[in-house]
Amino acid sequence: MPLDLRVWRWASNFVKRQPELKTRFQRRYDYQRAKCEDPTVIRNWFRLVENTIAKYGIRSDDIYNFDETGFMMGVIASGMVVTGAERRGTAKSVQPGNREWITVIQAINAEGRAIAPFIVGAGQYHLANWYRESNLPGDWAITTTQNGWSRKVGATGCSALWSMWQDRA
């Protein structure tokens, strides 16, 4: 069924006539993440953390928050762009042919001391040019997994990262 542009224009014009309405781009949000925003769940979690810290006498410089983010290199997302008014047609960005998953793990302790990032890339071996031709700081760690996802690193890999960081500290 073809898109009826009159319907879209009607909705767009309706919003323009209503000062209390505005259009915005929406962002995808994972259901599991949304469930974690329940205030009761959050309050209970903080209570558990406080009790654990008190029970075992854990120092704040020994409390770390680890986080990871994964992204596909070589993928361009659609978005709003600004161009000259005389330009016709849709603006385009050229999508590079190579696509690889990369995961970056970062950590910071409760005192504000950050650990250098840990990069997980797809592959079986480390390549020399990752280090020679890279602008990465020397204290960043790089490892590989078959698909570039951190869950394949496992406890052994995280333990090795932690030991490496402790040796440098």
* pLDDT 10s digits, 60-87: 998 988 888 887 776 666 666 666 667 6
Report in angstroms the alpha-carbon separations of 152 from 55, 87, 99, 124, 164: 33, 47, 19, 12, 19
pTM of the model: 0.55
Task: Give percent of the chain above pLDDT 70.
Answer: 59
Q: What is the pLDDT of residue 101?
A: 77
Tokens of 54: 């008190």
| Mean pLDDT of the chain, nearest integer | 75
Tokens of 93: 């960005």
Report in angstroms the alpha-carbon separations of 79 from 21, 22, 25, 91, 155: 21, 18, 9, 10, 38
Report in angstroms the alpha-carbon separations of 96 from 72, 81, 155: 12, 19, 34
As a whole number of angstroms, the distance between CA 9 and CA 154 comes to 52
Tell me how far the alpha carbon of residue 137 is from its chain's centroid: 20
As a whole number of angstroms, the distance between CA 150 and CA 73 comes to 15
Report in angstroms the alpha-carbon separations of 142 from 40, 52, 66, 169: 38, 33, 16, 18
